[in-house]
Structure 1
Amino acid sequence: MSYQLDFLGLAPYLPHFVAGIWTTIKLTVISTLAGLLLGTVCAAVKTSEGKWLKLLCTCYIEMIRNTPFIVQLFFVFFGLPALGVKLSAWEAGVIAMVINLGAYSAEIIRSGIEATPIGQWEAGKTLGLTRFQVFTRVVIPQAYQRVYPAIVSQSIIVMLGSAVVSQISVEDLTFAANFVQSRSFLSFESYILTAAIYLVLAILMRQAFSVVERMVFKNPSP
């Protein structure tokens, strides 16, 4: 038995794929920016002297890093409404992705902070900077430069993992693929195209991060 691929049969459904791509891009941009901010705050707390805040961040990080993303997504979408917090599918998807990236990036950024020589802290204090100023102007830039490749990889993983949000009816790229194959019965073609699009998005995302790296850091990491 032979099977003839019919990618032309997907042509009428291209607007659905385009809409799905746009939704995936928006989810990725928002969750990446917010997730890295959350991760930076948690990393700062983890390297501080606040015992209870450190414990709280540790519990959050370990809980997220050791549970499936889809469970976290379902908890936000189905669990929080039971507590009176009403969220749309889009909002739940963004929140779940931010929480997930925040936990993973916190440990990555923490390692970069702890790798910063103590002399950098002392030099900043000698110049009359407060601890907060030393942290934000001296330590964090160096920490990000050290762990930048790991941050890029984790952000791409979150983008690829965003496919799960289709399970709560967020109309992303995977949702579009499911819709198209259910209407056209071209399942093989739909998912080949979807996989190819995700591959292209991952490559473009890595290139975008490389551009940011060249703009922000004077000596980009190899």
Structure 2
Amino acid sequence: MTSLLEYLPGFVYASWLTIEITVLVILVSWISGLVAAFGKRSRWLLLRVPSQFYVWSVRGTPALVQVFVIYFGLPQLGIRMSPLVAGVITLGLNSGAYVAEIIRGGLMAIPKGQYESPIALGLSHFQSMRRIILPQVSRIILPSLTNEAIATLKNTSLLSSITVVELTFHAQIVIARTFQPFHFYIMAAVFYLAMTTVLTQLSAFLEKRNATNS
């Protein structure tokens, strides 16, 4: 039987690449989610309708299908991307639709007076959002954002279907070489579990700190 320790460094490297992909996807998702959340609340149809369509269409279709559309479909329109870029953009936009709903829910949880008071004090809408509203929203949505980040990390396994050598694809390569699917899928699962546990503990720490500062 092949020694698992022999392949441990490769799994560590693949896990690190998975973390890097996750960070990039989260950045894309937060940007697209924030834009879509405010777009859905906008009075302007040119902002509201595209934002509503984006959230509706992304949440209503499988992430794997979206990956295939971006990576295999767009080249027919003359748009070509590397597997990594296509994967980050697709998962980022996918997660962004859920982040948009999380942010929108957080904004709706803020009492109406919190929006009106800063304006009455002479602050602009942008200043009131940046200084008063968004800090409160961030505390409300932190647990949900953490859950979405964990889901994002696990969704990186979908990129194995377009040959991005993240943790799942690395496990498949090793299994093809050793014919030991049980051992190496379990090893991959342990690495995923370790990474999601770190995210969960980080979230608990941030929630506790926010509660202390409140």
TM-score bucket of the superposed structures, by smaller chain: over 0.9
Partner of 1:47 in structure 2? Answer: 41
Runs of 4+ residues over 6 Å off in structure 1: none
Shift of 1:170: 0.3
Shift of 1:158: 1.3
Deviation per CA, 1:117-150: give whole Å up to 9, x if none: 1111111112221111112222122122112111
Indicate the SS of the match to 1:128. coil
Is the alpha carbon distance of 1:87 and 1:69 closer, same or farther for their aligned partners in structure 2, counting shifts above 3 Å? same
Shift of 1:155: 1.4
Is the alpha carbon distance of 1:220 and 1:156 closer, same or farther for their aligned partners in structure 2, counting shifts above 3 Å? farther
How do 1:202-221 residues align onto structure 2 when only pairs under 5 Å count?
A: 202-213=196-207, 217=210, 219=212
* C-alpha contact (below 8 Å) 2:143/2:203 kept by paired residues: no
Aligned length: 214
TM-align CA RMSD: 1.8
For residues 58 and 142 of structure 2, the distance between their equivalents in structure 1, rounded to whole angstroms, comes to 21
Amino acid at match of 2:184: S
Indicate whether 1:32 and 2:21 are aligned: no
Shift of 1:207: 2.0
For residues 204 and 116 of structure 2, the distance between their equivalents in structure 1, rounded to whole angstroms, comes to 31
Partner of 1:56 in structure 2? Answer: 50
For residues 219 and 211 of structure 1, the distance between their equivalents in structure 2, rounded to whole angstroms, comes to 11
Taking structure 2 as the reference length, what is the TM-score of the superposition?
0.93
Indicate whether 1:134 and 2:124 are aligned: no
Shift of 1:214: 5.2
How do 1:1-222 residues align onto structure 2 when only pairs under 5 Å count?
A: 9-213=3-207, 217=210, 219=212
Q: Which moved more, 1:132-141 or 1:21-30?
A: 132-141
Amino acid at match of 1:135: M
Is the alpha carbon distance of 1:220 and 1:50 closer, same or farther for their aligned partners in structure 2, counting shifts above 3 Å? farther
What 5-or-longer segments of structure 1 have no aligned partner? 1-5
Identity of aligned residues (%): 37
Amino acid at match of 1:108: I
* C-alpha contact (below 8 Å) 1:47/1:114 kept by paired residues: no
Amino acid at match of 1:38: S
Amino acid at match of 2:70: V
Taking structure 1 as the reference length, what is the TM-score of the superposition?
0.90
What 5-or-longer segments of structure 2 have no aligned partner? none
* C-alpha contact (below 8 Å) 2:119/2:125 kept by paired residues: yes
Answer 1 or 2: which has greater helix percent: 2
* C-alpha contact (below 8 Å) 1:145/1:220 kept by paired residues: no
Partner of 1:3 in structure 2? Answer: none
Amino acid at match of 1:64: V
* C-alpha contact (below 8 Å) 2:142/2:203 kept by paired residues: no
Indicate the SS of the match to 2:3. helix
For residues 26 and 213 of structure 2, the distance between their equivalents in structure 1, rounded to whole angstroms, comes to 20
